[in-house]
Each structure stands twice: as structure tokens, then as C-alpha cells.
């Protein structure tokens, strides 16, 4: 009786050790006596206990950080940059056999690629072309990642830090540029206003009664404030004076 109980327990233990439940987002690789045997699909699977060993891989998109890296730009400016890598395993067999730790390997490779890419760019391009930096790093890492059974989904740059003295210089430069644009805009506005006033004066001079109408509008705009004192001088008086002056010139 005791031996029967022990046999049943041993059998149940062997069955339990042989069961492998693979989730929908996972893939398992089976090694038999150290040699690659097969790949397990999602669902209920069985292996031979002791003889077989299975390694389960998560096939979902993984995210790893690129730690802040010190790099020197092409114009010899030190910058610190960090980023994030989005990737997934597409070939579980390669991810297990070709590389010891694919997560660590891809992180280190991305760091090296980041320094290389930034080293070939000017500072202004580094600040303005974050998307381009990510695409260049992705192209470099993707080439090696294929040998490890990985697919790079995206690489994004996050923070770019520069020396404080350089930040102050760039801030002053930006302020000067904004002031320059403001002065240009103001001068263009003054030029347009002067042109409009000249056109208005010409039209009023050519239109009979326009000057008198403008005078009445100006008086009306002053309002009924008692402190306003208005002295009206007929326009004809100036025209008469001008006529007399012209007559004296002809003599």
C-alpha cells in the first residue's frame, strides 16, 4: 500500500514536471540533453522531465532605457543624452542561442550607437534633429539585432543637457535674435504706416472738400470736454496766403 502511494505521488510529480503552460504572448524553446529540440506554441505543452529543459521568452514589445551618455559633438561640445528603446523578440531561438542576455546586449549596443551618432553631428543639429538621431541609432541597432532575433520598433531621445555656460550663451543669442526680429517687424510697420499716410494725404489733396471733412471728424473726436480749446482757421486762408506768396515770387 505504501509503495502504491509513493508510486502515485511520483507519477503525479512527473506529470507536473512535464506540463508547460505557454501564454499567448510567450514562446518556449526546448533543449533535450543540451541540444535544441523544438519550439513550444502558446497553450498546454508537454516535455520529458529531467531530459528536456524549456526556456520561455516574452514576445511582447519591451522597453529599456538608454542611460544618460556623455558624448562630444562634431564641433567639440560635450552633451549628455538619454533615450528609450522599444523592441521585441521575433525569433526566440536566436534570442536564446546567439546571445547570452539579449536585453543587456541591446542596451549596450544602443549606448555605443548613440555616442557614435552624436559624435558625427554638430550641436545645432543634435538639438534640432532628435528624430533623426533616433532613426540613425535604430538603423545601426536593427542591423545587429536581427542576428539576435530582435526587431527594433522605435528609439526615442529624451533629455539633452549642455554645460551651463553654453546654455547662458545660447539664451543671450536667442534673446538678441528675438529683439532683431522685433525691430525688423516694427520698422516694416513704420514704413507701411508712412506709405499709407502719404497715400491718404495725396488723396485728400486731390479730393475737393476732403480736408474740411477730415477737420470736422477731428473736432468731433475731441469730445465735449471743457478743457479742450479748439481754434479753427479756414483752409481758404492758407490757400490765399499761398497765392499771394506765389504772386510775389513771380515779380
Residue 106 has pLDDT above 90, yes or no: yes
Q: How many domains does the chain have?
A: 3
In a domain, 251, yes or no: no
Please give the residue range of the domain that contains residue 19.
2-58
Q: Are residues 38 and 77 in the same domain?
A: no
- pTM equals 0.63
pLDDT tens, residue by residue, 213-244: 666 566 556 556 666 566 655 656 556 666 66
pLDDT in tens, 57-76: 999 999 999 888 888 888 88
Is residue 140 domain-resident?
yes
Domain shared by 98 and 179, yes or no: no
Percentage of residues in the chain having pLDDT higher than 90: 20
- Residue 126: the pLDDT is 84
Last residue of one domain, picked from the residues 126, 145, 162: 162
Based on the fold, state whether residues 95 and 173 are members of the same structural domain: no
Q: Which residue has the higher pLDDT, 4 or 30?
A: 30
Q: 3-state secondary structure string, the chain? A: CHHHHHHHHHHHHHHHHHEEEECCCEEEEEEECCEEEEEECCEEEECCCCCEEEEEEECCCEEEEEEEEEEECCCCCEEEEEEEEEEEECCHHHHHHCCCCHHHHHHHHHHHHHHHHHHCCCHHHHHHCHHHHHHHHHHHHHHHHHHHCEEEEEEEEEEEECCHHHHHHHHHHHHHHHHHHHHHHHHHHHHHHHHHHHHHHHHHHHCCCHHHHHHHHHHHHHCCCCCCCCCCCCHHHHHHHHHHHHHHHHC
If asked whether residues 150 and 201 sit together in one domain, one would say no
| Domain match, 54 and 29 both | yes
Amino acid at each position: 500500500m505504501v509503495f502504491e502511494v509513493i508510486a502515485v505521488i511520483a507519477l503525479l510529480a512527473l506529470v507536473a514536471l512535464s506540463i508547460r503552460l505557454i501564454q499567448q504572448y510567450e514562446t518556449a524553446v526546448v533543449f533535450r540533453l543540451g541540444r535544441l529540440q523544438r519550439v513550444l506554441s502558446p497553450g498546454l505543452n508537454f516535455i520529458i522531465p529531467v531530459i528536456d529543459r524549456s526556456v520561455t521568452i516574452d514576445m511582447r514589445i519591451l522597453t529599456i532605457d538608454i542611460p544618460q551618455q556623455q558624448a562630444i559633438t562634431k564641433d567639440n561640445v560635450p552633451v549628455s543624452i538619454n533615450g528609450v528603446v522599444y523592441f521585441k523578440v521575433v525569433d526566440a531561438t536566436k534570442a536564446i542561442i546567439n546571445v547570452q542576455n539579449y536585453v543587456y546586449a541591446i542596451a549596450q549596443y544602443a549606448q555605443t550607437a548613440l555616442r557614435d551618432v552624436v559624435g558625427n553631428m554638430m550641436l545645432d543639429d543634435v538639438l534640432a534633429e532628435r528624430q533623426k538621431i533616433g532613426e540613425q541609432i535604430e538603423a545601426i541597432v536593427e542591423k545587429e539585432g536581427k542576428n539576435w532575433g530582435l526587431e527594433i520598433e522605435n528609439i526615442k531621445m529624451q533629455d539633452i543637457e549642455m554645460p551651463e555656460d553654453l546654455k547662458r550663451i545660447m539664451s543671450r543669442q536667442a534673446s538678441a535674435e528675438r529683439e532683431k526680429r522685433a525691430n525688423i517687424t516694427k520698422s516694416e510697420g513704420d514704413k507701411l504706416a508712412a506709405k499709407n499716410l502719404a497715400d491718404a494725404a495725396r488723396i485728400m489733396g486731390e479730393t475737393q472738400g476732403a480736408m474740411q471733412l477730415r477737420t470736422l471728424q477731428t473736432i468731433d473726436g475731441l469730445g465735449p470736454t471743457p478743457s479742450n480749446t479748439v481754434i479753427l482757421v479756414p483752409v481758404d486762408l492758407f490757400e490765399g496766403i499761398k497765392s499771394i506768396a506765389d504772386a510775389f515770387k513771380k515779380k
